[in-house]
Each structure stands twice: as C-alpha cells, then as structure tokens.
Amino acid sequence: MSEASTTTHSFKAEVSQVLHLVVNSLYSHKEVFLRELVSNASDALDKRRFEAVTHPELAAASELKVQISADPAHGTLTISDNGIGMNASELEQNLGTVARSGTREFLSKVAKAREASDQGLQLIGQFGVGFYSAYLVADRVDVITRRADEEAAFRWSSDAQESFTIEPAERAEAGTTLVLHLKEEQKEFLGEHRLRELVRRYSDYIGHPIELSVPARAKGKDEEPAEALPPTFERINQASALWQRSPSEVTEEQYTEFYRHLTHDFEPPLGHRHFKVEGTQLFAGLLFLPKRAPFDLYDPAAKHGIRLHVRRVFVMDDCAELLPNFLRFIRGVIDSEDLPLNVSREILQDSKLVRVIKKQVVNHSLSMIEDLAGKDSTVFAKFWSDFGAVIKEGLHFESEHRERIAKIVRYESSTQAGLTTLGEYVARMKDNQKAIYYATGTSRALLDSSPHLEALKKRGYEVLFMTDGVDPFAVTSLGEFEGKPLVSAMDENLDLGDEELSEEQRATEAEQKKQAEPLVERFKAVLASKVGEVRLSTRLTDSPVCLVVPDGGIAPHIERLMMARQMGMPPQKRILELNPGHPLIQNLERQDHVDPGSVASWIELLYDQALIAEGSPLENPAAFAQRLTTLLTSASGASV
C-alpha cells in the first residue's frame, strides 16, 4: 500500500450485517461500548508487553496505559493506548472483516434470537466483534495507529455504512487511538463524572492504568483560571490485577465485570473460584463457570483453555496445557511466579509446575460444579444440558478424576422425573439387585419404549437413559460405581438371574424353547446376510423380537454416526433375539411346520420391526411397506 494514497475499501458483506445488528438490535445498554473498547486497549498493551520479553526493542518508552479524553466542543471521545498497534494490512483485516471463523453462524444465531437481547449480547462477545460497539454511540469512528515495530502510522475511518478508508497518518509513538464522533443523543458520554462511573463499574480490575483527562483546577484566586491551563490525566482505576487481591477485597460486581472483560460474555458467570497457592510453587488463579455454552464447544479446531500470566505479564490466551479437555468451557486466569517469562508451549507440556497448576485448576473447577449442583437443581439442570456431555468425556479420558466426575454426572431414568445421580440410583436399588442398569440411545422416549428393558421393568429395576454420543465410551470406562457394576440392558450377555419359577413354569419354558428351535434355524437362513446370530431371548416379555449388540460391538446410533462421518466403520451384524413365549412367534412356529416357505416375509418384517424399535433406519423402506401391506391384506381376509 502506498504511503501517499488514501484507499477506500468496502466492508465484507458479513461485517455490514454485523454493524447493522450491533447498532439496531443487540445492545440494550449502550454504555457497554466503553468496556469493550477499553478491554481491547488493555489486550493491546498486554500483547506489547509480552512481545517485548523476547524482542526488547518493542518495549514502550513510557508506562503502558489507556487514556480517555472528552472534547465537548467537537463532540468527540478519544480512547488511546501505547500498545502493540497495527499496520495497514492489520487495520484492513481486523476492522474490515470479522476475522474469527463462524461469522455466518453468528448471523444465523442472531436472526433466531433477535427478540432475546441477552442472547444477542452473548453472541456479540463470542464472535469477537466488540470493536463495532463503538457505533452504538458514534456515527463515525477514526482509528489512528502505528505498530510497535514499524515507523509508518495509518488512519482508518468509517461511518459504518458501506465502506471504510485507510490513509497515512502521523503518530509519535506506537499504539492506537480511537476517536469517536458521538451522535447528538449520546453526548452524555462526554461528561467527566459519567466516564469515571463507567470505568470504575466495568474496568476497575484492568491491570494497566486507565487515565481520564480532566481540566486543570486552580487552587488560588491569584492563579491562572483553570480553563486556561492544559488538561491533566488522572488515574481512575485501581490498576491492580484482580486475581492478586484478597478475595475479601473484591465485590461480586467486580468479579462479574472481570469475567465479562476476560470472556466478552454478557451473561454473568454461574460461579467463580479465587485462590492462591503458596509453598514450593507460588501462583494465583481466578476461575469462572459460564452460564451458557460457547458456540464452538464441540469444534475440534477451536482453541480452549485459560489465560496464563507470569508475574502479572500476559503470556498467552487459551492455555490448554493448564486445563483438561473435559473442562474446556471453564474460563479464567492463572498467574505464576515461577514459570519463565519466555515460556513456550513445549516447555509447558513437559513442566512439573504446570502439572501442579493443572491439578489445582481441575480441583477448583470440579468444586465449582459441585457447589452449583448443591444450590439450585433447576439452574444445574440447564447447566448440565449445556455442558454435561463434555464433562462426561472426563470419565473416558481422565482416570485420575473419574471417581469424582462419576459423582457429578446426571442421567434421566425410567422411574424418576428429571435428572438423577449414580449415588441416588444406588440408594434406590432393590435388595436383590446386583447391578446398575442403563440403556444407550438417541432419546429418552425411544429408550423408555425399548423392548430391551422389558425384563428389567418386570422385576422393578430402574434403568438409566444415556442419550449423549459420549455415553457408550464413558460408561464403559467407568465400569462400576460404589462397587456396583454398570450393565447395559442391551448387552449380549445380560444376566438377570433365575426367577423363582414353579415346576410347571419351568416345564412350560423348556417346551417353548424346544418348539422354537426349528424356527430359530429358519430365521438364521432368511437373515443370514443381515444378522450375526439368532437366538432365544430371556430379556423379552412383551415384544416378539429385538436386536442386541454383540460383545465388544458399538451401539447402533454410534455406528450410524461414525459411518455418516466416513470414519471407515464397517457395518456390524447384530444378534436377533426371539421371544419364545410371544403368540406371534408361536404362530410362526406352527406355520413353519406346516408350510416352511410361507414365513419368510414375516421374518423379514420382524427384522424391520426390530430396526425401527431401536431407532435405526430401514434398509429398504419400500420393501417393508410392500410386505406389510401384503401381510395385512392377507390377515384381514381382503382380496386384491
């Protein structure tokens, strides 16, 4: 880009839409613009201080700070910092496009939540577009900036309509200055008292000084009038890291505002944990439990973690080395006294100190979740709906914390309304019940009517419904709880023990099995390409058939998911179980004895019925419909 020219650029289509939404739809409290812009300035200061660790030439000649000044005569509010700054290409990229991925998803979500202002507020922060909040109060914004390692400065300017301009500018030192040309109805934000109030409410915790330009005040009648003196800058925030203060000195409002600064989330957190560890290692931490799940919670490419500082110097955002993946929604900051300032991710991955910090982070994070669970069951149910599937990943991947996670997890149940814990299940177990029984599938409604549960329900046994994709892996890793094995109702080798049967009942069962043997062979012949085995069932009481996952196999809904994602999953043949006591099976036994070839259509139909009962798609719906029509026509005595 030529330094002697002014260039005009059109906003990307998505940015134009974002600007329109910001100005017209999202923020109900326009004053939050100051928090967003001061927060961005603070981030720029952090980045410069961090880069100066390895590149001393980037160090600022004066103290890093944010300065705010109002000019009522011209109707402008200026926010300036001496942070890292930007060059021309960064200006175009950062302020002309929404650099973070998922912009279209953002717009789609906002379109669905236009009436829910709180949801809109949350989304604006999630997608990193807080700069545009300046247009809540300004009809034009100028950005004058110079990158710390470059000599050239540039001016970005836009009225938030269709385009923006970038041109050369003058700036004595590195950093960024935002000049907001306020709308007439927003001139209240030029008042000194109003600006002090907003900074103390929203930004008091920021670790850099925030200075406000105030008129010089004469002390005596012989001195020059105050208005003739140049204004001075006065610090208006405490400028001390919130996490380094004593918890007794921090208010709930300050915790909430720091959380909002850290995350750009407009919802208050559900909980926080403020701690300091002293001894062989020294570090402080402040962790938060979000109220809502971020949009990229399940995006494998998304960065998750907590913010890392070393001796109050910002080192990195999203430090995943301090936070296991099953807690990736936890937000917060850790400040270590012992890590080196030039710490790299490679060092973090092989650091004994990091392992100590991580253990503390996990302990405090789980404590926050446990505290929430004990306070309000309704709030926790919503939290679990958003984050439960992620937490259950810890059962599979984090053996060290498995026992503690197992006490937190919740499931729906065949006998209880709402969610229940494993501990509560065990307390309700029948005297003769040997195991914790569960069923995996896509929904409670599907599982509650599953034929696999018939024998369990007949005995009065409770069944837990596990409907998250992670559940089959998590429950297999858990194995048992308080000495009670976890057993799938769909397990190939489900053993409920022998019921107390009379001699007559035992004789009847034996006769039924003997009578059904030829039909079992007929099922095997007809379904040879579709099932791995056909056998008589001990779990069915009301249904004629069901499909069972073989030992070591994968639940059908997980199999379908893996195949849909083209993960190289070959289709598995399951076990078809027949209920020898069911009238339909007994009728087919008699019909097979009289006319062996006539039962093939019934067998195909029963196999399709078993697929439907477990929620699986039919291999050939048209053939199923045709068979069903033929058999219904025959059974009704109608003629075609």
Give yes or no for a contact between 571 and 549, defined as CB atoms under 8 angstroms apart. Answer: no
pLDDT value, residue 54: 85
Domain ranges of the chain: 7-239, 243-379, 392-488, 503-636
pLDDT at position 227, please? 53
pLDDT at res. 108 = 59
Supply the pLDDT for residue 502: 59
Q: Which two tokens stand for residue 592?
A: 């097979």
Taking a C-beta distance cutoff of 8 angstroms, is the pair 215, 226 a contact?
Answer: yes
Under-50 pLDDT residues of the chain: 1-3, 99-103, 113-128, 218, 226
- pTM to 2 decimal places: 0.73
C-alpha count within 13 angstroms, C-beta hemisphere, residue 45 = 25
Residue 480: the pLDDT is 96
CATH code for the structural domain at 503-636: 1.20.120.790
503-526 vs 583-594: helix axis angle to the nearest 10?
60
> What value does the mean pLDDT of the chain take?
86
Q: Quick check: helix, strand or coil at residue 275?
A: strand
User: What tokens were used for 499?
Assistant: 């019921």
Handedness of CA 474, 476, 478, 481 (dihedral sign): positive
Predicted pLDDT at 119? 41
DSSP 574: E
Q: Which two tokens stand for residue 468?
A: 């998250």
Complete edge-to-edge strand list for the sheet that includes strand 484-488? 420-421, 410-413, 463-466, 436-440, 484-488, 480-481
Cα 410 → chain centroid: 17
Give the model's pLDDT for residue 240.
78
Q: Residue 604: its pLDDT value, please?
A: 93
Which two tokens mark 464? 């837990």
**Fold of the CATH domain 7-239:** Heat Shock Protein 90 (3.30.565)
Q: Are 469 and 562 in contact (CB under 8 A)?
A: no
DSSP-assigned beta bridge partners for residue 463: 437
Residue (of 172, 154, 163) closest to 3 by Cα position = 154
d(CA 295, CA 126): 7
State how far the Cα of 146 lies from the Cα of 89, in Å rounded to an integer: 12
CATH fold group of domain 392-488: Rossmann fold (3.40.50)
Number of Cβ within a 10 Å radius of residue 517: 12
Q: Which residues of 592-629 are buried (b: 16+ CB within 10 A; e: fewer)?
A: beeeeeebbbbbbbbbbbbbebbbbeeeeeeebeebee
**Cα–Cα distance for residue pair 375/528, rounded to 1 Å:** 55
Which pLDDT score is estimated for 116?
Answer: 43
Separation between Cα atoms, residue 278 and residue 349, nearest integer Å: 22
C-alpha torsion sign, points 41, 101, 157, 187: negative
Domains 7-239 and 503-636 share a fold: no
Does the 243-379 domain belong in CATH 3.30.230.80?
yes
